[in-house]
Structure 1
Amino acid sequence: MLTPSQVEDYAQRAAAAFDDLELDILTDIARRIAKADYMTEGAQWQAERAKAMGASRQHMAERMERLMATAAPRVAVIFAQAMLDAEEQDNRFYRAAGQPEPEGIGTSAVAQQIVQSGYRRTMNTLYNLTQTRALMNNHNLPVAVQEQLGRMLDKGHMDVATGAFSYDQIVRRGIKELAAEGVDAITYPSGHTDKLETVVLRAMRTGINQTATDISQHNANTMNVDIMELSAHGGARTGDGGQDFTNHSWWQGKLVSLSGQPGYLTLKDIGLGDVRGFAGANCRHNWHPYWPGISKPAYTQAMLDDYNAPKFPYNGQMLTEEQADRRQRALERQIRRWKREYVLAKETDQPDLQSHAAGRLAAARGRLNDFLQQTGRHKQQLRETVPGFGRSEASSAVWAARR
């Protein structure tokens, strides 16, 4: 098994392999917005637009092909580390109960196949994302990005034609929009669009957790273990609020029988295999073996109740773990936003906007530091990282903010 925090940590590390792609696409769009001749009229504008769109599409196709070749080995290493960690966590429960340990991943052909299958499933999700063909009527990454660039170019052209904005204002607005919103990755038939950062992290979180869950279940079946204890964490989703598999806070921390023994939850109760249930999309819950009468429960009812109790002081209020986590991630997103804006402004030679982003970045960092100091929570450096914003950029941003 993996703990919820381990699932998140491994997912963040694996998703970081795709951060370069996001910044590369953002930079490419920003450059094309900055180079566009918005004063061109009629058919000439359509030719200008088509040229920019075609060049962008070719650049993106080449970049994505290189990325998948370089990211796959990095993600494979992280996947292997996560599964070895999950195996060791399970083995601790076997040892604590005085039970023999199952055959390890290193020698079990079946366990190796489970890991490889989980890895391929996860990477195929992201590989399909980068293809030009539509899957289930969705617009995938190349099409979604083209639509995003087209909208920004057309809006800029219209605003210049009507005299509503100057060229510089349009470029600044485009850079700020890109930095704030990120790259469009999937557009669904409903019109809803998921961002690249969201899609990649969701795929990694789901893939890693599901594979660890499968390994634990395989070991349990091999060792004739029938009862599994579900993990628990603060801020678990509540679904429809009823006692069913969509309400993760209802079944977390409880015991489930793989065979459906009376007196325990069943696999149907927790929704194993359903995207909304246990080990479904974005779920961080896992499980470990449990022997009634021998094992000590990992959770008491008091512990489960405490997960949803307000216990983080912030600005005169007490936040639950879910509220505190949501607030911290919002502050971290702001830091990434201003870092992206700083990098994009630098790439498109917008010194004023670059200085503005540096000032906003300093303020965002101050807000996060204040939050961490008040709540006693820890800094998550990986969540603040933006490719292209290294020590040199950080130093320059500090001086710009001071000025």
Structure 2
Amino acid sequence: MLSDEQLDVLSGALAPLFQNLEAWVITDVAQRIKNTMMYTRTAELEVEALQKMGYSPARIRAEVMRILRADKAFQRQVEENTLAFKREVAAKLAEITGKAQEAAGEVIDGAGDMSWADDISLWDSAGVNLEEDGSLKQITQAMKDQTRGTLKNLTRTTGFRTASGMESVKEVYQKELDKALVKASSGAVTREQCVREVIQDLARSGLRTIDYDSGRSYQLDTASRMCLNTAAGQLAAQVCNSNIQKTGVTMVQVSAHWGARDKGEGIKNHKEWQGKVYSIDGQLHPEEEKRIGMEINDLQECTGYSVQDGTGDIEGLHGVNCRHNHHPFFEGVSTPVKYDPEPEDKEINGRTYSYYDVLQGMRRREREIRALKREKEALEKLGEDAAAVKAKIRQKTKEYNSFCDICEVRQKPERLRVESGTTDLTKTQAWKSFQEERTKAVK
């Protein structure tokens, strides 16, 4: 099985690739809009004249749009930018997807190495000597194929969530330009302010993977974390299952962690089934129940997961983004692992936080800091003043650290990182952390 620390490192290994893609898109769109709007000087002069004459904002906007549609140089610039952006963003998406799929193979190999090393030590402590028979290679290859497919799907439909709705990444230049022109034509916003607002809006959203059927979207780097977290957890489960089936073990214990999902009923409510011992063969174990003082129910019935088939419900154990694992429980020998109780609710500034609320508060603050860092980077690349954004980053980081201290939870600086400067993963801290953890685990 894999520890929470190992899952954090594994799941974050590819984040810099998607952060690089995100930064490239935001900066490229903003730069093109900045250049395009250089052609609107004639319209700006018209705005000033019409304002002095007392015309309404609607009349001014209509006149400005008429001028811009008649400006051949402006229209040619927009057309060229639109075609160039679509072509270049398609190439960039293909590049990042290819690199992510390639690197994912190494991450899954690392997850396999870590899982095997931990599993073998567990069996050794029980006096069972297991030899690798090629099953690990087969399990790892199947998980590589699954993960590569998932990563490809993540980048297939991408875009930004703005105040005006979802904007496809291939259409974002045209849509953001249209909004900027409307703002500028009012005469209340300068070209410079328009560009800064484009950067701010796109940075706050972050480049997202979008499911148009459900309407749900996730930031790409977050979605890649979820993908790898799920894959690593399922791989560790398959390694454990393989060893269980070799030895005839009939029971397992499921791990427990603070902040487990407690919504819904049955398999959806992870908090209800975590930390318990289960039967995996459909048999009753009354004598073992007496020995350990715990009711032993059927694993698949309670959690939705089958050790024999290695499959489960996406809402249950080893489902999407589940951080639980299971390990063999040796009849007549094992003692159930006792997990520390979840911390009591905390009251902060008059509001009561459960541990789950604390985690959600951390995630929200982390997203805000990453958004500000995206904004800062784009401003700096366009030669704009980023001093105010830097000050916000310092303030938000201070608030984040203070919140974690008050709630007595470990800060996660790796979740505040935005490593977007390169597509060479070996030069990023996220990849170095993964390699260090892998080496440490298999020594």
Instruction: Specify the TM-score bucket, using the shorter chain as the normaliser.
Output: 0.7 to 0.9
Whole-angstrom CA distance in 1 between matches of 2:230 and 2:152: 16
Whole-angstrom CA distance in 2 between matches of 1:314 and 1:74: 42
Whole-angstrom CA distance in 2 between matches of 1:33 and 1:199: 28
1:335 aligns with one of 353, 361, 369: 369
Whole-angstrom CA distance in 2 between matches of 1:140 and 1:317: 36
Whole-angstrom CA distance in 2 between matches of 1:16 and 1:119: 19
Query: Aligned runs of 1:360-371 on 2, under 5 Å?
Result: 360-371=392-403
Whole-angstrom CA distance in 1 between matches of 2:83 and 2:238: 43
Q: Per-residue deviation at 1:121?
A: 0.8
In structure 2, what residue type is equivalent to 1:7?
Answer: L
Whole-angstrom CA distance in 2 between matches of 1:220 and 1:141: 44
2:413 aligns with one of 354, 369, 381: 381
Aligned to 2:391: 359
Aligned to 2:129: 100
Aligned to 2:88: 59
In the alignment, structure 1 residue 165 sits paired with structure 2 residue 197: no
Q: Per-residue deviation at 1:87?
A: 1.8
Q: Per-residue deviation at 1:145?
A: 0.9
Residue 53 and residue 265 in structure 1: after superposition, are their counterparts in 2 closer, same or farther (change >3 A)?
farther
1:349 aligns with one of 341, 366, 383: 383
Give CA deviations for 1:372-397 in whole Å, capped at 9, x if unaligned.
Answer: 4434433322211112579xxxxxxx
Residue 16 and residue 252 in structure 1: after superposition, are their counterparts in 2 closer, same or farther (change >3 A)?
farther
8 Å contact from structure 2 (residues 27, 378) kept in 1: yes
Aligned to 1:183: 207
8 Å contact from structure 1 (residues 17, 75) kept in 2: no
Aligned to 2:309: none
2:275 aligns with one of 253, 257, 273: 253
Aligned to 1:81: 110
Q: Per-residue deviation at 1:313?
A: 7.6
2:299 aligns with one of 260, 266, 279: 266
Q: Per-residue deviation at 1:368?
A: 2.2
Aligned to 2:24: 24
Residue 185 and residue 375 in structure 1: after superposition, are their counterparts in 2 closer, same or farther (change >3 A)?
same
Q: Per-residue deviation at 1:48?
A: 4.5
Give CA deviations for 1:224-265 in whole Å, capped at 9, x if unaligned.
Answer: 12211111111111231x3x1111111111123222223422
In structure 2, what residue type is equivalent to 1:307?
Answer: E
Whole-angstrom CA distance in 2 between matches of 1:141 and 1:129: 11
Aligned to 1:325: 359
Q: Per-residue deviation at 1:359?
A: 1.0
In the alignment, structure 1 residue 309 sits paired with structure 2 residue 344: yes
Q: Per-residue deviation at 1:314?
A: 5.3
Q: Which has the higher contact order (CA 8 A, sep 6+)?
A: 2
Residue 221 and residue 159 in structure 1: after superposition, are their counterparts in 2 closer, same or farther (change >3 A)?
same
2:143 aligns with one of 99, 115, 118: 118
Residue 100 and residue 313 in structure 1: after superposition, are their counterparts in 2 closer, same or farther (change >3 A)?
farther
SS in 1 for 2:260: coil
1:153 aligns with one of 159, 177, 190: 177
TM-score normalised by the chain length of structure 2: 0.75
In the alignment, structure 1 residue 283 sits paired with structure 2 residue 322: yes
Whole-angstrom CA distance in 1 between matches of 2:78 and 2:213: 25
Instruction: State percent identity of aligned pairs.
Output: 27
2:245 aligns with one of 221, 228, 232: 221
Give CA deviations for 1:178-225 in whole Å, capped at 9, x if unaligned.
Answer: 221111322413444332223222211111111111111122112212
Q: Per-residue deviation at 1:49?
A: 4.2
RMSD over aligned Cα atoms = 2.7
Residue 153 and residue 271 in structure 1: after superposition, are their counterparts in 2 closer, same or farther (change >3 A)?
farther
Aligned to 1:211: 235
8 Å contact from structure 1 (residues 339, 389) kept in 2: no
Whole-angstrom CA distance in 2 between matches of 1:366 and 1:375: 14
Whole-angstrom CA distance in 2 between matches of 1:206 and 1:109: 23
Q: Per-residue deviation at 1:31?
A: 1.8
Q: Per-residue deviation at 1:295?
A: 0.8
Aligned to 2:261: 237
Residue 201 and residue 269 in structure 1: after superposition, are their counterparts in 2 closer, same or farther (change >3 A)?
same
Whole-angstrom CA distance in 1 between matches of 2:359 and 2:216: 25
Whole-angstrom CA distance in 2 between matches of 1:174 and 1:313: 38
Residue 179 and residue 122 in structure 1: after superposition, are their counterparts in 2 closer, same or farther (change >3 A)?
same
Q: Per-residue deviation at 1:58?
A: 1.7
Q: Per-residue deviation at 1:70?
A: 3.3
8 Å contact from structure 2 (residues 158, 207) kept in 1: no
Query: Aligned runs of 1:191-210 on 2, under 5 Å?
Result: 191-210=215-234
Aligned to 1:401: none
TM-score normalised by the chain length of structure 1: 0.82
Aligned to 1:127: 152
Residue 260 and residue 5 in structure 1: after superposition, are their counterparts in 2 closer, same or farther (change >3 A)?
farther
Q: Per-residue deviation at 1:96?
A: 2.6
Whole-angstrom CA distance in 2 between matches of 1:112 and 1:42: 61
Q: Per-residue deviation at 1:97?
A: 2.3
Aligned to 2:426: none
8 Å contact from structure 1 (residues 180, 337) kept in 2: yes
In structure 1, what residue type is equivalent to 2:342?
Answer: Y
8 Å contact from structure 1 (residues 255, 265) kept in 2: no
